[in-house]
Amino acid sequence: MQSTSVYLASTSPRRRELLKQIGVQLTMLPVDVDETPLPNESAQTYVQRLSQAKAGAGWDKVEAGQLSLMPVLGSDTSVVLDGVILGKPESKVQCVETLMSLSGRTHQVMTAVTLQLAEKVATQLSVTEVTFRVLCEKEALRYWDTGEPLDKAGGYGIQGYGAVFVQCITGSYSGVVGLPIEKTVVLLNQFNVPFWQNS
């Protein structure tokens, strides 16, 4: 059975735009999921668990609301340095500390994508290496003042002002933005969801 659209279990404008970029028709379906890491949980396990939890919560909404039966896409992104997940900064001090810890170093951006339709669930994981040039604290402070770091994992957005920090990446650019297109297409094909559709 082919679904012509998906539900996006997220309010992320970045994920919405990446899906639209490849011509996927979608309906936003925000969900509320506890994002607290489990004790001794690895970053890879964490992002995959959360993407599955978001897709599952979205599917529960579909069933509870008797909505049209279409696959639900859940995704989660984490910035990881030395095996430690760096969350979204909650203060200027935290943001500056995070950015300076990334300065002149290579970190990983892990994004998991899950599609769920009833009992059928499939997940893909993208891991991208991102290297920052050496930063100064003044830059980090100025960046905080732009307002961009507030809702960004690791305190930066590669698709925005934060691009000036990035020296090079190895892997998926769209995965760093928040939805690895190359992994997402694998899932769309598995669930017979077309892309390249006119909106």
Active site residues: 76
Residue 133: how many CB atoms within 10 A of its CB? 11
Cα 114 to Cα 191: distance, rounded to the nearest angstrom: 11
CB-based contact 149:96 (threshold 8 Å): no
114 vs 46, 48, 111, 163, CA distance in Å?
Answer: 13, 8, 10, 27
CB-based contact 104:133 (threshold 8 Å): yes
Structure tokens given for 3? 């679904």
